[in-house]
Amino acid sequence: MYTYNEFDEAFVRNRVAEFRDQVERRIDGSLTEDEFKPLRLKNGVYLQLHAYMLRVAIPYGTINSRQMRQLALIAKRFDKGYGHFTTRQNIQFNWPRLKDIPDILDLLADVGMHAIQTSGNCIRNVTADHFAGAAADEIEDPRPTAELLRQWSTDHPEFQYLPRKFKIAITGAPNDRAVTKAHDIGLRMLRNEAGEPGYEVIVGGGLGRTPMVGKVVRDFLPKADLLPYLEAILQVYNLSGRRDNKYKARIKILVHETGLDEIREKIEAAFVRQKRDFAGVPADLVAQIDEAFAPPLFDNTRSLAYEQALGADPLLRSFAETNVAEHKNPAYGIVSVSLKPVGGTPGDATADQMRVLADLAERYGHDELRISHEQNVILPHVRKADIPAVHAALREAGLATANIGLVSDIIACPGMDYCALATARSIPVAQAISNRFDELKLERDIGPLKIKISGCINACGHHHVGHIGILGLDKAGRENYQITLGGDGTETTTIGERTGPGFDAEDLVPAIEAIVLAYLEQRVDASETFLEAYRRLGAEPFKQAIYDKEKDEARAA
């Protein structure tokens, strides 16, 4: 992973000192809240329902054990003993006192971390495939590209005041684990017919109030042209994006209203100008970044111990079936640690759990951890022979839930328990669904099923691309939940279809249960996933399952 140089260190320290002065002036009344707001947002500080919230950047989701221990220390000393990992591969602290935030930022700087550009109308944290550098299907590790984009976009003078926030995601594999088509810019690494590496460039994706799937604006972009091409896209957006209505200010609206062909022409024209003046990324910088992401020194010793342990321990076998993915090195596995225990808050980890994860990464995982957009933590490089020991440590820490990709592995935003923008709660809904399917003991039989929950139209829980999506709204002072079906956040990205009228909180879990039971009843066999069944059957059987049941109950009453 990338390590700060002297320039980075000085840059971040200066920002902390500047913000410390701004905080002091806010506390003594020299700055009003309106004056302070744009200053705090530039440093990742939000004002939530009950307290300030600090959002810390974890670039492309990569973190080491020292950094994770520092997050644990911050959670223990300045928060309520936990942190919340988000769908942007960041971590949020929900309860810091304003006067303590500069001290927190100093502690982050001690380990090469910060909160810069985690908010505001700028280029946000660049996200990437959480299996990057480890996945068996990977064409190329996308993180060097993501790091180059981080350096290019941080404090970029032209792009600090865009029409709206701007998000970039990148994947290095044909299997898209980064939801690239739901971002302002999505980059998919590939090779052309000559075997040269480059990118498919996708523009205009996004969820929220007007969900749209991104469109391919360049089938193949050589790696050397990436920065001038992205500059061209951002310039077109910055000049033409709407500033009269924040709900129509994202690039997806610009692409939709202008048309892909015209947008492509504008981008290509701007690209010609940018490329003419672009001297190229310095070769020493490219080499420095590539070296920072060189693969670890793998121990290729093969052992039968793992296979023998699977045969002897049913809990380990169950964990391996869901939480261990294929690694590019056959002697290794990719271990996903679920932050979704039954009845828990999705994405939350306690300080003690963070320390356990740091210890495991240091001892068994080449000192690497990843945060996924699905709010879980990944140990990307674990020798298969060590997985039983890792599993035992996770069990002791309450982190061995074997549910990755299953019905209880729910994405949920903080919702109305924390967020000032939310119109309904998300966390209690996720907990209730998790508890109900634990009671039914059907999770393994159901198989892969992604439920995603958002507490407002901003869609921070990615509900539009959930196989089952749930959107919480306020309806005449009551929480009301709309259900969408058939969404998909992979390389075949699809926006889910709304089933019909929403449900009150007390009726929502029975509706989700009815949908899942209808799937189990109508699937071809156990190999047909929920998404496959939905695409074959359409929405009607599932609508009948929830709305006919509703009518029957009304008649019975």
Sheet strand arrangement including 348-350? 45-47, 52-56, 91-93, 82-85, 348-350
Q: Splitting the chain (557 residues) into consecutive groups of 10 residues, what average pLDDT does each group show?
A: 91 97 98 96 95 97 98 98 97 98 98 96 97 97 98 96 98 98 98 95 97 98 98 98 96 98 98 96 96 95 90 97 97 98 97 98 98 98 97 98 98 96 97 98 98 97 98 96 98 98 97 98 98 98 87 52
- What whole-number distance in Å separates Cα of residue 237 and Cα of residue 164? 10
The torsion angles phi and psi of 487, rounded to 5 degrees, stand at -70, 160
Q: Rounded to an integer, what distance in angstroms lies between the CA atom of residue 253 and that of residue 206?
A: 10
What pLDDT does residue 555 have?
40
pLDDT of 301 reads: 87
Question: 328: exposed, middle or buried (C-beta count within 10 Å: 0-12, 13-18, 19+)?
Answer: middle
Strands 127-128 and 168-171 come out as parallel
Cβ(438)–Cβ(408) under 8 Å? yes
Q: For residue 273, what pLDDT is reported?
A: 97
Instruction: Compute CA distances 420 → 47, 94, 416, 424, 458, whole Å.
Output: 8, 12, 7, 11, 12
The confidence score (pLDDT) of residue 556 equals 47
* Separation between Cα atoms, residue 176 and residue 534, nearest integer Å: 20
| Structure tokens given for 255 | 């692409």
Query: Using N-to-C axis directions, what is the helix angle for 226-240 and 251-258, rounded to 10°?
Result: 80
Question: How many residues are recorded in the chain?
Answer: 557
Q: At what angle do helices 260-277 and 251-258 cross, to 10 degrees?
A: 120
Token readout for 148 is: 């180059």
DSSP state of 125: P
Cα-Cα-Cα-Cα dihedral sign, residues 515, 520, 524, 527 = positive
Nearest to 331 by CA among 382, 293, 380, 370: 382
Q: Is 126 exposed, middle or buried (0-12, 13-18, 19+ CB in 10 A)?
A: buried
Contacts of 286 (CB under 8 A, 6+ apart): 148
**Assigned token pair, 118:** 């985690």
400: left (phi over 0), alpha (psi -120 to 50) or beta: alpha
Q: What is the pLDDT of residue 557?
A: 52
Reported pTM: 0.96
Please name which of 409, 277, 275, 241 lies closest in space to residue 336, comparing C-alpha atoms.
409
The DSSP result for 79-105, as a single string, is SSSEEEE-TTS-EEES---GGGHHHHH
